[in-house]
Structure 1
Amino acid sequence: MLHAYRNPIRVLGLDDLIMLIGADQAGNLLEIGVATGEGVEFIVHAMPARPRFLR
């Protein structure tokens, strides 16, 4: 998961969340939801990438 976070291939801004799309070390595409609070980034969502984020 951290590999996908550090090396996104796509970045999408959604309401209060930034969605990163990237591959894990095995090459599986993941969607990582990141929220920011007080200057710190928090990973609040991680799962296999859904088709709507791959278009």
Structure 2
Amino acid sequence: MIYIADTASGPGIASRLGITPGTLRKWRMKGHGPATFKIGGRVVAHEHAVAEYIAMLERA
């Protein structure tokens, strides 16, 4: 699982996409970006969901 912002364990979703955490939050509200969900009030994504989203962008 990875969080929106960077943590001590590594880069977050936003860093992997080359955007700010605020931009990713806006995308989520519009239904864009990789599949995310909440755990304990924090937004997370599976690493494979982020990788799949990046691969989709590369194919487009």
Give the structure with the higher percent strand: 1
Q: TM-score, normalised by structure 1?
A: 0.34
Task: Indicate the structure whose relative CO is greater, using CA pairs within 8 Å and at least 6 residues apart.
Answer: 2
Give the structure with the higher percent helix: 2
